[in-house]
A and B are shown apart, each in its own frame.
Chain A
Amino acid sequence: MSSRLKKKLGDIGVDLTSRRATENFCLIGTPLPPLEKSKDTGEFVPLWKQEVRDEKGRRRLHGAFTGGFSAGYFNTVGSKEGWTPSTFVSSRSDRAKKPASSKPEDFMDEEDLRELNESRKLVSTTEPDSLGSSSHPGAAGGIGLDNDPIAAALASAQHKESPGMKILKKMGWRSGQGIGPRVSLAERKRQDAQAFDPYTGVKSSESALDVASDDEEAGKHKYPRRDTPILTVARKGKSYGLGYTPGLSLNESLGVDSGQKVATGPKISAGFGLGALNDADEDDIDVYDFAATSKARVAFDHLDHVQDDTIVIGKGKGRQSKPFQGPKGPTQVFYDGTPVLPGFTLSDQPVQEDKWYPGPEVPPGWEPDPRRVWNASQSKEKSQPPAATTKGGRPQISAAEVSSHGQLREKECLRFQQRGTILGEESKTRSVFEFMSEKDRERIQRIAAGGAPPGPGAPLTAPPPTSFTMPQVEPHIAKAALQGFQPFTTDPAKQARYTTFLHSQADPNAPPLIPLPGQETEKFHKEVEDYAKSAILFKPMSGAMAGRFTSAAVLDLGPKVHEGLHQPTEEEYVKREEEKRAEEEKNVPPKVHAAKMGMYGPMTRETQPWQPARLLCKRFGVKEPDLPAGQDAMAGEPSQTSFGATSFEKEAAEAAAGAPGTFNAPTESSKISVWEKMRRKERIF
Chain B
Amino acid sequence: MAPSRGTQAIPRDLHVTLNSHKGPVNVARYAKGSAKYILTGGQDRTVRLWNANLGTEIKTFSGHGYEVLSLTVAHDNAKFASSGGDRAVFVWDVATGQTIRRLSGHLGKIHAVEFNEDASVVASGSYDSTVRLWDLRAQARQSIQTLEEARDAVQTLYVGSTYLISGSVDGHVRTYDLRKGELRSDFIGNPVAAVIPTLDSTTYLATSLDNHVRLMDMATGKMLNDFSGHTNESYRCRACFGYGEASVVLGDEKGLIWAWDLLDGKVMPPNPPPKAHHKVITWTEYHPIDAGEFITCSADGTAKVWKERTDHAD
Chain B hits for A624, CB < 8 A: 181
A-B contact pairs, 17 of them (CB 8 A): A594-B187, A600-B188, A600-B214, A602-B220, A604-B186, A605-B186, A606-B184, A612-B145, A613-B144, A619-B120, A619-B135, A620-B162, A622-B162, A624-B181, A625-B180, A625-B181, A625-B182
Chain B hits for A616, CB < 8 A: 121, 133, 144-145, 178
Q: Find out whether the CB atom of B182 lies under 8 angstroms from the CB atom of A646.
A: yes
Q: Find out whether the CB atom of B221 lies under 8 angstroms from the CB atom of A620.
A: no
For chain A, residues 85 to 139, give those with C-beta under 8 angstroms from any C-beta of chain B: none
Q: Find out whether the CB atom of A643 lies under 8 angstroms from the CB atom of B222.
A: no
Chain A hits for B183, CB < 8 A: 607-610
Chain B hits for A646, CB < 8 A: 182
What is the size category of the interface that chain B forms with chain A?
20 to 34
Indicate whether A337 reaches chain B with its CB closer than 8 angstroms.
no
In Å, the complex CA distance between A642 and B135 comes to: 33
Chain B hits for A595, CB < 8 A: 171, 187-189
Indicate whether A274 reaches chain B with its CB closer than 8 angstroms.
no
For chain A, residues 623 to 661, give those with C-beta under 8 angstroms from any C-beta of chain B: 623-627, 642-643, 646
CB distance from A473 to the nearest CB of B (A): 74
Indicate whether B176 reaches chain A with its CB closer than 8 angstroms.
yes
Chain A hits for B185, CB < 8 A: 605-608
Chain B hits for A619, CB < 8 A: 116, 120-121, 135, 137, 144
Chain A hits for B187, CB < 8 A: 591-592, 594-595, 604-606
Q: Find out whether the CB atom of A592 lies under 8 angstroms from the CB atom of B137.
A: no
Indicate whether A611 reaches chain B with its CB closer than 8 angstroms.
yes
CB distance from B37 to the nearest CB of A (A): 23
Chain B hits for A615, CB < 8 A: 135, 144-145
In Å, the complex CA distance between A629 and B184 comes to: 20
How many A residues touch B, CB cutoff 8 Å? Answer: 33
Chain B hits for A626, CB < 8 A: 181
Indicate whether A455 reaches chain B with its CB closer than 8 angstroms.
no
CB distance from A598 to the nearest CB of B (A): 7
In Å, the complex CA distance between A52 and B161 comes to: 90
A-B pairs, top 7 by smallest CB distance, nearest first, are A625-B181, A605-B221, A595-B189, A610-B183, A600-B223, A613-B145, A604-B187
Indicate whether A617 reaches chain B with its CB closer than 8 angstroms.
yes
CB distance from B97 to the nearest CB of A (A): 17
Q: Find out whether the CB atom of B182 lies under 8 angstroms from the CB atom of A598.
A: no
Interface residues in chain B, defined as those with a beta carbon under 8 Å from any beta carbon in chain A: 116-117, 120-121, 133, 135, 137, 144-145, 161-162, 171, 176-189, 214, 216, 219-223, 226
Given the known interface contacts A595-B171, A605-B221, A620-B121, the answer about A612 and B181 at a Cβ–Cβ threshold of 8 Å is yes
Q: Find out whether the CB atom of B220 lies under 8 angstroms from the CB atom of A642.
A: yes
Indicate whether A297 reaches chain B with its CB closer than 8 angstroms.
no
Chain A hits for B216, CB < 8 A: 600
In Å, the complex CA distance between A601 and B218 comes to: 10
Q: Find out whether the CB atom of A627 lies under 8 angstroms from the CB atom of B181.
A: yes
Chain A hits for B176, CB < 8 A: 610, 612
Chain B hits for A598, CB < 8 A: 223, 226
Chain A hits for B137, CB < 8 A: 619
Closest to A145 in B: B22
For chain A, residues 373 to 402, give those with C-beta under 8 angstroms from any C-beta of chain B: none
Q: Say which residue of B117, B120, B161, B221 sits within 8 Å of A604 (CB atoms).
A: B221
Given the known interface contacts A619-B121, A620-B116, A622-B162, the answer about A600 and B222 at a Cβ–Cβ threshold of 8 Å is yes
**Residue of A594, A601, A623 contacting most chain B CB atoms (<10 Å):** A601
Q: Find out whether the CB atom of A623 lies under 8 angstroms from the CB atom of B219.
A: no
Chain A hits for B120, CB < 8 A: 619
Closest to B190 in A: A595
Q: Say which residue of B162, B181, B189 sits within 8 Å of A609 (CB atoms).
A: B181
Given the known interface contacts A613-B133, A619-B137, the answer about A601 and B221 at a Cβ–Cβ threshold of 8 Å is yes
In Å, the complex CA distance between A594 and B180 comes to: 27
Indicate whether A302 reaches chain B with its CB closer than 8 angstroms.
no
In Å, the complex CA distance between A617 and B182 comes to: 13
CB distance from B104 to the nearest CB of A (A): 19
Q: Find out whether the CB atom of A608 lies under 8 angstroms from the CB atom of B182.
A: yes
Chain B hits for A607, CB < 8 A: 182-185
Closest to B133 in A: A616
CB distance from B89 to the nearest CB of A (A): 16
Indicate whether A596 reaches chain B with its CB closer than 8 angstroms.
yes
In Å, the complex CA distance between A600 and B223 comes to: 5
Closest to A632 in B: B181
Chain A hits for B188, CB < 8 A: 595, 600, 604
Given the known interface contacts A595-B171, A619-B116, A619-B135, the answer about A605 and B220 at a Cβ–Cβ threshold of 8 Å is yes
Closest to A601 in B: B222
In Å, the complex CA distance between A601 and B121 comes to: 32
Chain A hits for B182, CB < 8 A: 607-610, 625, 646
CB distance from A640 to the nearest CB of B (A): 11
In Å, the complex CA distance between A27 and B180 comes to: 100
Q: Find out whether the CB atom of A625 lies under 8 angstroms from the CB atom of B178.
A: yes
Closest to B20 in A: A147
In Å, the complex CA distance between A622 and B160 comes to: 12
In Å, the complex CA distance between A617 and B311 comes to: 49
**Residue of A605, A609, A613, A646 contacting most chain B CB atoms (<10 Å):** A605
Given contacts A600-B186, A623-B179, 11 further A-B contacts (CB under 8 A): A600-B214, A600-B221, A601-B220, A601-B222, A606-B186, A608-B183, A609-B183, A610-B181, A613-B133, A617-B178, A625-B180
CB distance from B221 to the nearest CB of A (A): 3
CB distance from B306 to the nearest CB of A (A): 26
CB distance from A70 to the nearest CB of B (A): 59
In Å, the complex CA distance between A334 and B145 comes to: 101
In Å, the complex CA distance between A601 and B145 comes to: 29
In Å, the complex CA distance between A616 and B120 comes to: 10
In Å, the complex CA distance between A622 and B121 comes to: 13
Closest to B219 in A: A643
CB distance from A614 to the nearest CB of B (A): 9
Closest to B159 in A: A620
CB distance from A644 to the nearest CB of B (A): 9
In Å, the complex CA distance between A622 and B179 comes to: 6
In Å, the complex CA distance between A238 and B67 comes to: 47
Chain B hits for A592, CB < 8 A: 187, 189
Chain B hits for A643, CB < 8 A: 219-220
